[in-house]
Structure formats: structure tokens, C-alpha cells
Structure 1
Amino acid sequence: MKIDISKTKDVFAAYSQLDFSDIKKRYRDPATKYAFDVLERKILAGYHIQLACFRHVRDLQKQNTEDLPFFYDINSVARLLKFAEMCPEAESKQPVDLMDWQKFVLSMLIGWRGSNDNQKRFSRSIISIARHNGKTYLMAIVLCYSFLIESIGRNNLQFLVSSIDAKQSAQLMGYVKETLSTLFSAKTLRNLKNPFYKHNEKIGIDLKGLSSQSDKIIAKKTQNRIIRITFNSGSYDGFHFTTAIGDEFGSPDANDKKKLNSITSGQTMGVKSPQFIRISTAYEDPNVEFHQTEMAVLETIERDYQRDPDYYNYLVLDWAQDNDDETYKAETWAKSNPLINLPGFKESFLQSIEKERSASLVTASINSFKNKSMNLWTQTNDNSYLTLDDIESAIIDDFDIDGKDVYVGFDGSIGGDNSAIAFVYPYQENGEDKFHIEQYSWIPWHDNGSIEAKERADGLAYRELAKKGVCEVEPDPGVIDYESIFKWINAYIDDHQLNVLFFGIDNAAKG
């Protein structure tokens, strides 16, 4: 059956068309149960998490095939969840029961494996959620598990703790140290014998060092080490990280593609089961690689019938509100703040969020509230005419332009600027006047020296956008070629038999 959610945006309808009874019988682990509970509306979740849950249960149907050479290993999941039960929460310094959504996060990261090599499937992961929902706590569990369990019998492994600034990276490193310290010093956990009691002596970790401000944790007997590096001031060159955690990597300050690539390229150098996990809330600028990757992965999940293999190794778990209107609907806030459903916590958590919203309205910083508390991407300016929601909700994929009336505008570039053409098609729908708009660009890079430098300077992945058919990168020597552009325009108009009502052109192009 052809499943295409990209047009309907209705995950529940797609789910109802398929028979998952066999999967329900075979998989009773917490993550799969959570996925089914979301898809059967027993748990409130936003559209992006609905997609993630749909992907999981669909992949369970397709696993171990030529089209999907991965499988879900419930034994790996069980081991990680057992370990997580012993890890202390930061404030109480005691182990706590994980919620269903938290188990889903951990299970997706660790459970999916390669059919041929048993290595972790999701080498690149994005986990996005509103603040104060325990992202850092979960990542400390993941990193400590990798450091203590997955490294058994292996030496000279490197693990990364990173964030956009020293303060944020120190917080995650502090969580990791607290977790290790408790595991090594507590004789019992949950009234059971602690298997990690004094384990530090076996691997050569100094307990005193865990209480210091050091930016390294070194197991002297294995030379396995956890390293803290700040994104803005550090370098990842020369490292080969087994597990790398990037905190608040959705920030525009963490949008340096060269640095991001240095992490992942280092992981390809013979590292077994590498994982680069980026966690973040939303930010005002949606034109960052973090958000672009989010959307690209979610789009390929929507097109279930033609999944893009380039994204098989990417995981996106995004707890977010579905639109701006939900900023004022407290009954929906569990979409971006799943910790609301923690027993005994709901009322105080809701009151805290409501106070933050009121303060943001008074200080005219509602966008920041939407970013951090609703996990909604907005735009760079609170006074922008169109919001990101407005733009995304207006996108349609199946508008037929052939034979239509059209207004055309061409913006020619000077020097290193892009050239672009816009087509505006007037039409009526149900008696209402509307306009369909399309745009295409030509990208010069000569003044920047290379297309890579041009992409870094503009903060846009032009080569990826070219694959999507919205632009083209000028060939060597990277300068605008007006003759080829006008040939393209004439061919486009002729091919689609457009009736041009107006053609506007700027002075630069005329020159």
C-alpha cells in the first residue's frame, strides 16, 4: 500500500490503513508500546512525534529486508533501560522511574541495529524538546552507558561532551560526573546491590577528579576518556568520538558546518557504532542546519512509500507544539513538555509555564517563549510580517502551472549576490482570489572562493537545495552567466505554455 502523509499531514489516518496486529504481539517493550499509544491517541503528542512513532512501527514491519537492512534489538534496549534504572537524577541524586517518552528516546538510540554488522543504526540523531524536560539527564545516561558498558574490552576510546559555551557544556559534564560518582560510591541502588560499586578502581578513575572542574574524565587502565569541548572556542579536529553529545546545537552559534563535519568525519575513522547526538530547544532562526536536517528527515518519513536511504541513519525526535495558536492552549502543552504528565507534577509545571508566558508578553519577548517553552521555531524578528507557521502552512506540492497566467520578476545579481526569478500565478479557488508563488535561484561562489565558503557565509546548504530543484550552483568559475539564465527562463515559459502578463527586471540585470 502506498502511504504518503506529505499531502494529508494525517498520521492517524495512515496508521489506520495498515495492520499492525502481528507487531503488537511480537513487541511488548516500552518504546513500542509508547509508539502504539501515541498512534492510538492514548498519549497526546505533536505531529513530529506521531511521525517518529509511525516510522518505528513501520520499520518493525520492514526490518531485515533489502530495503531496510536494520533490526530492532529488544535485548540491547533491555540492557540500557536496566542501566538507566540505576542512574541518579541530578537534584535528588537518587534513581527515578523513567517516563514512557524517556524510554522511547533511549530505545530508539540504542535498539535499532544494522542487520549485517549489529552496529547502531542511528549514527546521527536530533532530539528536540522544550526546556526543563530533562534532556541533559537523559544524555548523561546515554554517555555513561556508552562509557561503562559499551566500552567493555575496548581501549583508547573517546567520548564527547560539548555545547555552545563553557557554562552549558559544564552543566552536561557535571551531570555525567554526578552519575559516575553515585554509581561508583553507592553500595546499593533501589535497595539492590550496586554492580558498579567501586568499579572506578577497576578502570582507574579517581573519584576526587569527578568532583573537580576538570574538562576530562580518564579511565587510566583503559585510556578511555570523556572530553569536554566548547563549540565556540574549541576544535574537534583529530578526535574520533565513539559517542558525541552536542547540547543546544540548534543555536545559530552552532551552525558552523565545518566544525559539525569534523565531529562526524572523525567518527568514520574506524569507530565502532559511532553516534553523534544533538539536543536542543528551538531557536528563532529556522535557517540552521539543525532545523533543516530535522525537516528533511521528517519529510522522508512522510513519504513512506519512497523513503530516502540517505536518511536511514538519521533519527529525529521532536517534542513540539504544532502551531502558534497552541501557545495559548495549556491543554496541549504536553506535546512540547511531556514531563507535564509526571504524576504529581502537572499543576506546578503548568503554572510555571503560564508565568513564563505572561512575563514574555509583558516584555515583548513572546518569540523567545515559543522557542524555549513551546519548542516552536519562529523567525529572526518579532516584527516579521509572516511567521514561519504562515509560510509552512501555505506550501502545496501539486499546483498545476501549465497554461496559467503568470507575473514574472527577475532579480539579477551584482558580484557575489544570488540571482533569482519569481513566478506569481493568480487564480481563484471557491470564488476567492489567490496567488501561487514559485521561485528559482542561481548561486555564484567566485567571490567566496568556493561553494563551501559561500554556504558557510550565507548559512544555507545550496548543494542540498539544488538537489531539491529550487536552485542551481553556477559551475566553475562560479560567476553568474546571464545568457544561460535567460535561456532557462525562455525554456521554462515555453515548456509550461505560460501566459506572461508582466515581466519585471531590475537595473542590474538590464546592465
Structure 2
Amino acid sequence: MPKATQPYATAANRYARDVVRGKIAACSYVRQACGRHLNDLERSKSKDYPFRWDRQAAERICRFAANMVHVKGREWAGKKIALEPWQCFILAVAFGWVRKADALRRFREIYAEIPRKSGKSVLGACIGLYMFAADNEPGAEVYSGATSEKQAWEVFGPARQMCLKNPSFVSHFGIHVGAKNLHILDNASKFEPVIGKPGDGASPHCAIVDEYHEHQTPDLYDTMLTGMGARSQPMLAVITTAGVDTSGPCYAKRDEAVKVLEGTLENDQLFAIVFTIDEDDDWTEWPSWEKANPNLGVSVYPDFLQARRKEALQIASRQNILKCKHLNVWANAGSAWINMVKWNACRADVFLDDFAGEPCWIGVDLASKVDLTAMVLLFRRGDEFYLFGRHYLPEETVTLPENAHYQRWVAEGHLVATPGARTDYHYLMDDLLAYADRFSIRELAYDPREAEMLMQEIRERVSFSCIEINQSPAFISEPMKEFEALYLSGKLRHDGDPLLAWQAANVVLRSTRTKAYYPGKERAENKIDGIVAAIMALSRAMLHAEEPFVGMEVWD
């Protein structure tokens, strides 16, 4: 098929070029997604590169979607879908790349993070219907998965309505439209919603996971993914907005997607795109809202977004949730203290071993023996500080069904699970003594609560000073303000520890009538111990800096 008759494939490539050239305002992740596609087009010219972009396959999925009809909205209902360039790009790239060896699809997973009111459900419905009816897969099983029946129907409902409003499509493929499913008798294909964890007997050809940020565990995602083993070219599509729980499976998948886009992780089967703002963008300015919303002026109206922006500016308690839903900025708390875009920008390619022999300050926040215990190491190089966390939790707490995030962090090496039902502080002691051999520890700062017996033992075994830190607002306010200034200026560096990042997102700023800061949290399960330990360590490091920071004299 000549290029002149492939308008959608052409539109996808034009969108990618326009984004990369700066003609279309887009965040770094969208630019990276477009750059990845364009770079792969160049690489595909080499016989050694295993993939090629099949323009006909790209065109086919887009033409299919454009023959579906809208089912919602006074302005759109009943009209055929007019794909926007960014939608062409997602479909044409995710479905157009194939393996040179056998022409099977390259991408098996889609992670698309898109703000509210941008047509996520329509996009998901089109993908689901295509995989159900038009992908030439006998016995195709397609599922719309979610944590509730209402959410599962957010994709399946529009797909079912599209069938009802498109009788020629239904007739052509022999689709039976049931009350709660779609099926094709001739080849035993089906499309239906699924809630929670599905049975292990499923063999999905496609799964659409809508609003993955609402999932507390990866059970549905993992079951769908592992069930695809018997399919030659399945697709698992996550189409979601940002969420308010960075400990959940969606944020972990997002982290993987970002690493693929940045080029630090290789996964040729994952197509990823994230519409959001950049770390240097001022979220209060209108251009930031334009950048994050690819369907602005189409399915989301400027006056609606302007109203949300004004609401966020005027009502502090609404800022984070509005930034989350309309700018795709992740945050844990309704009044979170730490800007996670700025926090993530402080990530550095460093390892603890890089600091062997260097001066070190340690903060320890000992929880009750059934809760999270944190030890944070802090180093200074010039005007920059580097944080490394070490965390401990009883094994019996880790293995509780609701603690999938802790289980993941144990597997990844970010959390130490001590045997039994109570934290064994000897694990912390052993680590501390090992650190004393590797680094020049100047001081250890600790919260006296829960700590006296352990600190007495530590004092008997180490040569450095152990300093009790009063955590009242009068004493912790200035160190918190210095911590805030450092991370906002990019001078408080960390290694990307997801457990420490989760706690950073959990911290809620509290203040007294005299405007003194102190850290808080909205829920008991939103741990902040690692950040408190980091603030304590920073307070001591500041005291011993060659040029002390203003306000630290209260810690003398």
C-alpha cells in the first residue's frame, strides 16, 4: 500500500517528528517515546536489527479505531472516532512494530499514562475490540480488568455500546452482544469484564487494565501476563491516570516504563508513553496544563481545565489531587510536603560503595518492634548531600496480603525482613558496625522514643557520638526547611530507592501557629520514618559544615 493511502501511519510519524523538533509541546517522556520510535526506524534499516515497522499493520489498527463510534457526550455520541495525532502515534507504534523473523508483533505490553478526560476508555475499548474481532486470533480471550465492576465497565461498557451502534461491524465479524459479554460463535472468541484477581485458567489474547493506579496488588496484572504464554502475539494494555499511592503496583510499572524511555532499562516488548509535566515546569502556569493534556480542545475543554487550575491555585488542599488527575503528577497525600517531580530529579547514578572512607552522618528512627525502622546514611561532597536508606520490618508483617509493596521491596533488596513477628534490631546493629568499618562516621542522630536500650548497646560498641534529637516543632522546623531547600535546588541527591521515595511522598507538612514545621502523615500505613531519619542526619551534617546553614544553631 503506497504511503499516500496510509494517512494514519503518516500522521503517527509526523507527530513523532513534530514532538522531537519542539513543534508540539510535550514533556520529556513523550519526547523520549517519539525519539525511541524514530531511532528504531533508523536502526531497522540494518539487517542485524530484529524489528521493522509495518506501515500496513499500523494503518490497520488506526483504520479499525476510526470506524468505531463515540458513545458518550452530546457533541460526539454516534459520530465516528476522529483519531488525534497522539492517538495515531500510540496505536500505530504499539501495533505496527513487528519481528523481522516471523512478522509477529514486537510489543506485548502498553503502559500509557494519560490525564483525565482525554479519551482513555475509548482508546482502551478500540484496542479491546480489535484484539477480540480483527486480529485473526481463533479463540481470542479479551478482558477488561479492574478492581470494581464499575471500573471494569468503563472500558467494556463503551466497547459493548460501540457494537450496538455499529451493526455492520457486528454482522461482518459475527459478534453476539450479550448483557455482560461479547462473543463470536464461529471462532469461540470472547470479550468480557473481570473484577479483581481472575482465575488461573484464563488464556488472554488481550487484557485492558484501566486505572491501574487503583490496584493495591499486581495480582490481576500478573495473572493476565502469565496467562498469555500460549498466545503468539498477545497485548496487555495499561491505560491509566497517575495515582496517589506510590507504593502500589502501578507506580512500580511506571518506574519500569520511565527507565525504558530514558534508556536505562532495555525491554523491547514494552511500549511506554507518559503525558505529564517536566521537573522545571511551573504547574501554576497555563502552558504546563496545555503540555500535559494531549486532547485539550477536543475531549477536554480549555475552560474546564482553567477552572481546575484556578481551583488548585486557590484551595491548597485540592492542589495535589488536581495535579495528579490533570497533570499526571503522582502524590501520596492531599497536602504532601515533597514535590515528587523535584524529588525524582534529585536521583543520581551513585552507589553506597562509592563513598568508602568518606565522612558520614547517620539518622536512625526506631519504630515499635512491629513497624518500619529506618537508618539513613548521609554524605557531603561540596554543596551536595547524598542519601542512602536501610529499612527493617518483621517478616510476619511483610508477608501480610495487604503488604505486596513491602514484599516487592524485600525482593529488590530495599527492605530487610527480620525473622518473626518483631523487628530484630541486631540486624540494624550488624549493619551499623559494618558501616563503621567502611565509612568515617561522625555522628549518629536518633529519636529517643523506642531507642534507649538499643542506643545503650550501640554506645558501648562504637567510637562515634550518638546524639538524641528532640523532634518537637521548635527543634525540627529549621532542619526541615533546609531539607526542603536542598531537594528543591537539586542538591539533596539519592540513589532512586523506591522505599525512600514512597516515604517522601507520604510526608504531610504540619505547622504550628508560629509557622514552625513538623512532619506528619495522613494515614498510619503511610510511613515517613526514612525521611525523618534523613532530616536528623542532615541536621548534624549541617552543624559540621565549613559554612553552616542559617538556622541550624538551634541544634547546638
Which TM-score bucket, shorter chain as reference? 0.7 to 0.9
User: Does the aligned pair in 2 maintain the 1:412–1:509 contact within 8 Å?
Assistant: no
Give the conservation status (yes or no) of the 8 Å contact 1:413–1:509.
Answer: no
**Paired residue for 1:494, among 437, 452, 461?**
437
Aligned residue type for 1:226: F
Distance in structure 1 (CA, Å) of the matches to 2:410 and 2:425: 20
Match of 2:207 among 244, 247, 253: 244
The change in CA–CA distance for 1:116 and 1:84 in structure 2 (over 3 A counts) is same
Q: Within 1, Cα distance between the matches of 2:268 and 2:402?
A: 25
- Is 1:404 the counterpart of 2:358? The answer is yes
Cα deviation 1:256-299 (Å, max 9, x = unaligned): 1233211211112x123111111111122222221222122322
Distance 1:508 1:419 in 2: 15
Asked whether the equivalents of residues 169 and 247 of structure 1 are also in contact (C-alpha less than 8 Å), the reply is: yes
1:482: Cα distance to partner? 5.4
Q: Which moved more, 1:170-179 or 1:129-138?
A: 170-179
Residue equivalent to 2:232: 272
CA contact (8 A) 2:364 2:374 kept: yes
Within the alignment, does 1:56 sit opposite 2:19 as a pair? no
Work out whether 1:167 is the aligned partner of 2:108: no
Q: Is the 8 A contact 1:379 1:387 kept in 2?
A: no
Contact 2:9–2:59 (8 Å) recurs in 1: no
SS at match of 1:364: helix
Aligned-partner SS, 1:335: helix
**Pair 54,328 (structure 1): closer, same or farther in 2 beyond 3 Å:** same
* Candidates 331, 337, 361, aligned match of 1:378: 331
Matched, 1:439 2:389: yes
Residue aligned with 1:376, SS = coil
Map of 2:119 onto structure 1: 134
Report if aligned partners of 2:319, 2:334 keep a CA contact under 8 Å in 1.
no
| Mapped partners of 1:45, 1:356: distance in 2 | 20
Alignment of 1:416-495 (within 5 A): 416-426=370-380, 428-429=382-383, 435-442=385-392, 444-445=394-395, 447-448=396-397, 453=400, 456-458=403-405, 461-463=408-410, 465-466=412-413, 470-471=414-415, 485-495=428-438
Contact 2:152 2:210 in 1 (8 A): yes
Residue number in structure 2 paired with 1:190: none
Deviation at 1:403, TM superposition (A): 4.0
* 2:474 aligned residue: none
1:198 aligned to which of 151, 171, 174? 171
**What are the equivalent positions in structure 2 for 1:74-223 lying under 5 Å apart?**
74-90=55-71, 91-151=76-136, 154=138, 156-185=139-168, 196=169, 198-200=171-173, 203=174, 205-206=176-177, 209=178, 214-223=179-188
TM-score by length of 1: 0.76
Counterparts of 1:340 and 1:75, CA distance in 2: 29
Q: For the residues of structure 2 that align with 1:64 and 1:290, how far apart are their CA atoms?
A: 35
Is the 8 Å Cα contact of residues 164 and 248 (structure 1) preserved in structure 2?
Answer: no
- 1:141 is displaced (CA, Å) by 1.4
Question: For the Cα contact (< 8 Å) 1:287–1:460, is it kept in 2?
Answer: no
Alignment partner, residue 256 of structure 1: 217
Structure 1 distance, partners of 2:94, 2:103, is 13
Q: Specify the alignment match of 1:5 in structure 2.
A: none
Q: Distance in 1 between matches of 2:317 and 2:154?
A: 29
Cα shift at 1:176: 0.6
Q: In structure 2, the residue corresponding to 1:397 is in which secondary structure?
A: coil
The equivalent of 1:13 in structure 2 is none
Q: Distance in 1 between matches of 2:107 and 2:16?
A: 18
Indicate the SS of the match to 1:75: helix
CA distance in 1, matches of 2:421, 2:315: 49
Residue of structure 2 in register with 1:294 after alignment: 254
**Counterpart code for 1:88:** V
**1-side partners of 2:399 and 2:10: how far apart?**
44
Q: Is the 8 A contact 1:122 1:315 kept in 2?
A: yes
Query: Contact 1:88–1:179 at 8 Å: present in 2 too?
Result: yes
Rounded Cα–Cα distance in structure 2 between residues aligned with 1:182 and 1:454: 43
Letter paired with 1:372 = K
Listed as ranges, the gaps of 5+ residues in structure 1 are 1-26, 186-195
Shift of 1:255: 2.4
In the alignment, structure 1 residue 33 sits paired with structure 2 residue 39 = no
Change in CA separation of 1:116 and 1:492 when aligned onto 2, cut-off 3 Å: farther
Task: Tell me by how many angstroms 1:502 deviates.
Answer: 0.7
Q: Deviations over 1:453-487 (max 9, x none)?
A: 57835456214532xxx44556x889866556544
Does the Cα contact within 8 Å between 2:204 and 2:227 map onto a contact in 1? yes
CA distance in 1, matches of 2:441, 2:376: 12
C-alpha separation in 1, matches of 2:136 and 2:399? 36
Match for residue 352 of structure 1?
Answer: 304
Q: How many residues align?
A: 438
8 A contact 2:279–2:342 mirrored in 1: no
Which residue, 36, 42, 47 being the options, matches 2:28?
Answer: 47
Q: What's 2:500 paired with?
A: none
In structure 2, give the amino acid aligned to 1:169. A
The residue number in structure 1 matching 2:52 is 71
Distance 1:266 1:412 in 2: 42
Q: Matched residues in 1 for 2:141 and 2:420: separation?
A: 41
Say whether 1:391 aligns with 2:309. no
Helix, strand or coil at the partner of 2:153: helix
Question: Equivalent of 2:192, from 227, 230, 242?
Answer: 227
- Normalized against structure 2, the TM-score is what? 0.70
- Measure, in 1, the Cα distance between the counterparts of 2:27 and 2:15: 14
Which consecutive residues of structure 2, in runs of 5 or more, have no partner in the other structure?
A: 1-7, 458-556
Q: CA separation of 1:374/1:288 partners in 2, compared to 1, >3 Å: closer, same or farther?
A: same
* CA apart distance, 1:180: 2.0
Greater shift in the superposed pair: 293-302 or 130-139: 293-302
Aligned residues with identical type, % of pairs: 21
| Cα distance in structure 2, aligned partners of 1:59 and 1:244 | 26
